[in-house]
Amino acid sequence: MQFTELGLSAELLRAIGEQGYTTPTPVQQQAIPHILAGRDLEALAQTGTGKTAAFVLPLLQRLSQAPSGQTSSPLQKLTHTAPRVLVLVPTRELAAQVLASVRTYGAHTGLRALAVFGGVGINPQIQSLRRGIDILVATPGRLLDHLGQRTVDLSKVQTLVLDEADRMFDMGFIRDIRRIIEKLPKVRQNLMFSATFAAEVRELAHAVLQNPALVEVARRNAPAELVTHTVIKVDKEQKRDVLLHLFAAHGWHQVLVFCRTKHGADALTRKLEQSGVRSAALHGNKSQNARTRALADFKAGKLAALVATDIAARGLDIDSLPRVVNFELPNVPEDYVHRIGRTGRAGASGEALSLVSSDERIQLRDIERLLKREIESSILPGFEPQHTHAVPRPSAGRPPAHKPAPARNRSSSGRPGAPRPARAGGGAAKPASHHSGQRHR
C-alpha cells in the first residue's frame, strides 16, 4: 500500500514525501482510515512502529478540512485560540518528539501546535497559548498547572489522544488524566495508544473510548528478528575498560549505553569523556535543557555515546540506531526489550550488546526466558572474567552454554590488536546448534 491510497491531502503527502516515506507502516495503514472517519481507536503499538504519524497525519487532515469549525461568526474568529486536538503524553521528551512530528507533517498546513511540559518556564507557554493553537501536546502535570491558572481552554477539544497510556499508568498519572478529561467536551473523538493492554489500560479504555476500532500491530523491533543480541562476560570492575576498548577498537559512534542508576550514568559519562569518547548522560536529574541538548547532539552525530537510564530513554525517537549497549542489565527483564527497542528500527538491523558480570546472571537468565532464547555470549581476550559466571540455565539437560574461558594473564600484549570477542568455552564445549554463530562487529 502507498500513502497516496489513504486519502490524505496533497499538503500532507508532500510533507510525507519530504521525509522520504512511501509506504505506511502497519499501524498507519490500519489506524489512519478509522481516525479520518472520526472513530475512536484503541491501538496496541509501541514506539518504533510509526504510531505517532498514525494519529498525527489523520488529525492534521481533519483539522485542515474543518478550519472554520469554531469560527462560524466573525466574533468567534477573533477568539478562536483554543486547541481542538489534545495529545497527552507521559514525558517531556515524548512531548517534544510528538510536537516535532506535528510540525514536520503539518509543515504545509498552516496549523499551529504547541507542547507544554514541566521543567521549563511556564510563561512562554502562556504567551503561545494566548496567541492560539490548533494542537496541544502536553504532559498531565503541566497541563493541570495551566488549567489551574486558567491559561488554557480545553472546551474546544474535538479529539483526545492518550499516547503511551501504559506508561502514564506506570508513572502514576491516572488521576491527573481523569481530572483533565473532566474538563473536555463530552462529545469528542478519543484515541488511545499503548504498548501493552494491561488490566488498568483496558479499564481506562473502557471508560474513555466509545465503540473503538481496535488496531494491534506486531512489535516492529521484535527482539529475535532484527536485533543481534550478544553478551560479553566480564568482571564488574573491568566493564569500563571493556567499553572504552570497544569504542576505540571499532570506532563506534552513536551508541546508546544503558546504566541502571543516574549516579552510574554520570560516572560512566565522565570516564568516557576523560578517555576522549564524546558522551552525555541522559537521566531524570538533568535539566530539561541539558536533556534536550544531549539528545539533539546525539542525533546530530556529535556524541559517540549517550549514557541513559531506563526511564529517561523510554520512548526516545532516534532513527536507525545501530547499537545499544547494556553496561548493566536491567532488573526488570521487560526493560531489556524496551532498551533494545531503540535499535533495529524501520527494518534496519541493529545490535544489542550487554556487558554481563557474574552478579547479573539471574537477570540474564530472566531476560533469556522472556526472549525465549539463549543469547550468544563471548569473552573478550585480555578481559577474561575471574569470577564464575555459572548460570542456572532455564532448561535442564543441556551443557552449560557459557563456560568461562580459562583465565589468562592480562598483559598489554594480551589485548587484541584486531579485537573480536572470543567464543566462550571453546568451540568443542557447546553444540553448534545452540548459537547462530553471529559475532558482534
Q: Name the residue nearer to ligand AMP (CB basis): 338 or 402.
A: 338
Length in residues, the chain: 441
Whole-number minimum distance, CB 176 to ligand AMP, in Å?
A: 23
Is residue 230 a contact residue for ligand AMP (CB under 6 A)? no
Shortest distance in whole angstroms from residue 213 CB to ligand AMP? 19
Q: Identify the CA nearest to 40 among candidates 208, 278, 153, 172.
A: 208
> Closer to ligand AMP at the Cβ: 217 or 231?
217
User: Residue 45 or 272: which CB sits closer to ligand AMP?
Assistant: 45
The verdict on 377 binding ligand AMP (CB under 6 A) reads no
Pick 195 or 246: Cβ nearer ligand AMP: 195
107 binds ligand AMP (CB under 6 A): no
Among 6, 41, 53, 143, binds ligand AMP (CB under 6 A): 53
d(CA 55, CA 352) in angstroms, rounded, equals 30
Residues 9-48 close enough to bind ligand AMP by CB under 6 A: 21, 23-25, 28, 47-48
Smallest separation (angstroms) from ligand AMP to the CB of 60? 14
Q: How far is the CB of 24 from ligand AMP (least distance, A)?
A: 5
- Give the residue among 367, 434, 364 at the shortest CA–CA distance from 399: 434
C-alpha cell, 51: 504510531
Please say which residue, 343 or 357, places its beta carbon nearer to ligand AMP: 343
Interaction mask 335-374, ligand AMP, x per CB under 6 A: -----------x----------------------------
Residue 28 or 190 with smaller CB distance to ligand AMP: 28
Q: How far is the CB of 346 from ligand AMP (least distance, A)?
A: 5
Residues touching ligand AMP: how many (CB under 6 A)?
A: 15
Q: What is the 3-state secondary structure (H, E, C) of the chain?
A: CCHHHHCCCHHHHHHHHHCCCCCCCHHHHHHHHHHHCCCCEEEECCCCCCHHHHHHHHHHHHHHHCCCCCCCCHHHHHCCCCCCEEEECCCHHHHHHHHHHHHHHCCCCCCCEEEECCCCCCHHHHHHHHHCCCEEEECHHHHHHHHHCCCCCCCCCCEEEECCHHHHHHCCCHHHHHHHHHCCCCCCEEEEEECCCCHHHHHHHHHHCCCCEEEECCCCCCHHHHEEEEEEECCHHHHHHHHHHHHHHHCCCCEEEECCCHHHHHHHHHHHHHCCCCEEEECCCCCHHHHHHHHHHHHCCCCCEEEECHHHHCCCCCCCECEEEECCCCCCHHHHHHHHCCECHHHCCEEEEEEECHHHHHHHHHHHHHHCCCCEEEECCCCCCCCCCCCCCCCCCCCCCCCCCCCCCCCHHHCCCCCCCEECCCHHHCCHHHCCCCCCC
53/192 with CB nearer ligand AMP: 53
Which member of 34, 51, 314, 323 binds ligand AMP (CB under 6 A)?
A: 51
For residues 105 and 336, which CB has a smaller minimum distance to ligand AMP in the complex? 105
For residue 93, how many other CB atoms are within 10 A of its CB? 22
Q: Which is nearer to ligand AMP, 28 or 230 (CB)?
A: 28
Q: Which is nearer to ligand AMP, 54 or 180 (CB)?
A: 54
Instruction: Tell me if 167 contacts ligand AMP by CB under 6 A.
Output: no
Shortest spacing between CB 332 and ligand AMP, in angstroms? 22
Name the residue number minimizing CB distance to ligand AMP: 52
- Cα distances (Å, whole numbers) of residue 31 to 37, 58, 284, 318, 421: 10, 9, 33, 23, 44
Q: 231 forms bridges with which residues in the sheet?
A: 354, 377
User: Minimum distance between the CB of residue 48 and ligand AMP, rounded to whole angstroms?
Assistant: 5
Q: Say whether residue 156 binds ligand AMP (CB under 6 A).
A: no
Q: How far is the CB of 215 from ligand AMP (least distance, A)?
A: 13
From the CB of 316, what's the least distance to ligand AMP, in Å? 9
CB of residue 365 vs ligand AMP: minimum separation in angstroms? 30
Distance of closest approach, residue 191 Cβ to ligand AMP, in angstroms: 13
Binding letters toward ligand AMP, positions 310-329, x by CB under 6 A: -------x-x----------
What does the binding site for ligand AMP look like in residue numbers (CB under 6 A)? Answer: 21, 23-25, 28, 47-53, 317, 319, 346
